[in-house]
Amino acid sequence: MTEHKLTERERSVLHAFAQGLEADAVAENLGITTEQVEQISRNILHKLFAGAVHNIVNSPENATVREEELVSA
């Protein structure tokens, strides 16, 4: 199974956004550029999306649906 854990930096950016900060304020607080904050944000979304897709594909409900589809085919 592929892990989609957030790095410490990604968690810091996510926490700052959760506090209501804009990208430029996050960048200033963390001492990085706005472009870096935007890239980190994309990485976060990618990891969260990949993790969600993995969970959906591997959920027991989907396994049951696939089995039922095979039986009825």
Q: What is the pLDDT of residues 15-58, one digit of tens each?
A: 999 999 999 999 999 999 999 999 999 999 998 887 667 667 77
- Give the model's confidence band at 73: pLDDT under 50 very low, under 70 low, under 90 confident, else very high: very low
Predicted confidence at residue 43, as pLDDT, reads 94
Residue type, 48: L
- Give the model's confidence band at 1: pLDDT under 50 very low, under 70 low, under 90 confident, else very high: very low
8-72: CATH number: 1.10.10
* Rounded-to-10 torsion of CA 62, 65, 67, 73: -140
Between the two ends of the chain, the Cα-to-Cα distance in Å is: 30
Predicted structure pTM score: 0.67
The structure tokens 């472009």 sit at: 35
List the chain domain ranges: 8-72
Strand intervals (E) in 1-73: none
